[in-house]
Structure 1
C-alpha cells in the first residue's frame, strides 16, 4: 500500500497544493505570511498550522507588514489568549520581530523579495522529484538563507524552516507531478 502524500490528506490541502504551494512568490506581504506560518510549523505538522491559517491572518492583520511591525507586548498578550492560534509566545513574538526586520529592509530600499530570492540567484531550484522520498529535508541554500536571516535579526528561521519556506514560496520546486 502506498503512503498518502501530505497534500492528499484533505480536499483543502489538495487545493492549497494545486493553487499555492511551490509557485514562485514575489510579494513581500505574501512572503512574510509564508515565512510566519512556516515558523509556526516548527515542531508541528503543517496540517495543524494550515487549519489555523485564517485565524493567523485575522490576528496579524492579513500579514500587513507595517501593522504587524507596530504590534506591542500588549498585542502579544492578546495573541496568547487567542485559542484560534498556536499559542507559543516566542513564535508569536518572532512574527512581530520578523515584520520589523522586513520593514527595515523596505525602509533601506530593499524588498524582502529581493533578499530571499538572491539566496537562489533569482532562479527556481528544481529538483524534479518523482516521489516525496526524493525530496531532500534541507539544502545548502536553505542553510545559507537561515544564516543570512538570523544575521539580519530574524527569529525562528532555522535551516529546516527556511527550506519549507523556500518550497512553499516557490524558490525551490519540489512539486511532484500528478499522473
Structure 2
C-alpha cells in the first residue's frame, strides 16, 4: 500500500479531511463558494484550523450558509450571532455576512451564477501550480489582487487579496498541492 503524503500544513484531523476532500478541488457550486467566501472572511487574522473547528457551528448559526436567508438578517439576528460562542464574534465580520450575501446575489443576477463570475477570471481553467515546498506558496498574486479589487467595487467586504487567494485555493480555482502530495492533480 502506497504511503499517503500530504502538504505540510495538513497536520490535524480536520485539516487533513479538508485538505484531502476539498482544498484545490475545482468547484462550480455557488452554495459551496458562498460558504468558503464567508469562512475565509472570518478567518482573517486567525488560523484556518480555528475556522475548521467552528465550521459546523457556523453552518447552524448561518442557516447552512443560505445567502437568500442571510441577506434578510435583521439586527436581532446579528445580535444573536454576536452572542454565539460557537462562531467568531467579530461585529465587522458578522455584519459582512449580510453585505456579502447581498453582493453575491447581485453577481449571480449579472452573470447567471457566482461560479460564472469567478471562473471567468481564469477563462474557466484551473490553475495548477507545481510548488515543491510550502514556503513557495504565495499569500497573494496579481490574480487575487484583480479579483479582490473587482469584488470590493461590487460591495463585498473581507475580500482582500490574501483572503481571495485562500478562497481561490479553497474552491479549486487554484490547485496549490505540492508536487509530492498524494492529492496533487497529475
Q: Same fold (TM over 0.5)?
A: yes
**Comparing 99-108 and 57-66, the one that deviates more:** 99-108
Equivalences for residues 12-51 of structure 1 within 5 A: 12-51=14-53
Task: Provide structure 1 residue ranges, at least 5 long, that are not aligned to the other structure.
Answer: none
Task: State the 1:105 CA deviation.
Answer: 2.5
The partner residue of 1:64 within 57, 63, 66 is 66
Structure 1 segments of 4+ aligned residues over 4 angstroms from their partners: none
Equivalences for residues 1-179 of structure 1 within 5 A: 5-8=8-11, 10-108=12-110, 110-176=112-178, 177-178=180-181
Indicate the structure whose relative CO is greater, using CA pairs within 8 Å and at least 6 residues apart.
Answer: 2
SS in 2 for 1:52: helix
**Aligned length in residues:** 175
Question: Which residue pairs with 2:4 in the alignment?
Answer: none
Task: Provide structure 2 residue ranges, at least 5 long, that are not aligned to the other structure.
Answer: 1-6
1:61-85 deviations in Å (ceiling 9; x for gaps)? 1111101111112111110000001
